[in-house]
């Protein structure tokens, strides 16, 4: 019997995730999978992963409890932020935890723990969309900097400026919490998109 968790998300307080949970519970029963936990959240899928407490709890749970699969009714339940969804898929794949996507009837890993060819196609598309999003964001930032400089603005920190430890602890409290849960530096970077250099500094503060 495979060990699975259910993950359900809706965007607003007015919506309900009961249908998702019910469908995924039935799916598990039909496949003789044991549902070990159910994680639900009411939050916009466009939010950053670090703002999604239930998503972080789910990743932590499957990491520490030898879970085989995460069940979702559709990929958008993991989020609408392409970068964030790709980060979660890649992180779970690296831990040999498969994601079963009900509406496509596919999962990200084979029973042997290899990446499923069909899901690889989906992941490749997601990666390309994510690359385009990063490029667009970078171009917007560069355009903003350029206009700011043209109008006499100065970009960058003031000379000698450095955030004190208390400011860093407050700004990056989620990253510090993950360090205390024994997440690796690389996994925290994948989940939060915080730079490796910043994470190294944070690690010394714990």
Residues designated as active site = 11
Token pair for 55: 């998503």
Separation of alpha carbons 14 and 40, rounded Å: 14
> What's the start-to-end Cα distance of the chain, in Å?
40
Q: Which residue(s) pair with 72 in the sheet?
A: 101
Q: In what order do the strands lie in the sheet with 34-42?
A: 34-42, 3-10, 69-72, 98-101, 106-107
Separation of alpha carbons 43 and 40, rounded Å: 10
Eight-state DSSP code of residue 11: S
């Amino acid at each position: 019997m495979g060990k699975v968790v259910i993950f359900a998300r809706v965007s607003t307080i007015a919506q309900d995730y009961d249908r998702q949970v019910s469908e995924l519970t039935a799916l598990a029963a039909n496949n003789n999978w044991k549902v070990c936990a159910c994680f639900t959240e009411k939050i916009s899928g466009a939010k950053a992963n670090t703002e999604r407490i239930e998503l972080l709890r789910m990743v932590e749970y499957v990491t520490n409890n030898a879970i085989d699969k995460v069940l979702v009714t559709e990929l958008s339940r993991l989020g609408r932020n392409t970068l964030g969804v790709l980060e979660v898929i890649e992180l779970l794949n690296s831990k040999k935890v498969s994601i079963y996507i009900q509406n496509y009837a596919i999962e990200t890993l084979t029973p042997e723990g290899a990446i499923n060819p069909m899901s690889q196609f989906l992941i490749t598309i997601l990666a390309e969309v994510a690359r385009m999003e990063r490029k667009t964001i970078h171009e917007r930032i560069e355009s903003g900097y350029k206009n700011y400089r043209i109008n006499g603005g100065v970009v960058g920190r003031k000379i000698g400026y450095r955030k004190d430890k208390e400011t860093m602890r407050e700004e990056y409290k989620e990253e510090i919490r993950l360090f205390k849960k024994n997440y690796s530096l690389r996994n925290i970077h994948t989940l939060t998109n915080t730079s490796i250099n910043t994470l190294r500094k944070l690690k010394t503060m714990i």
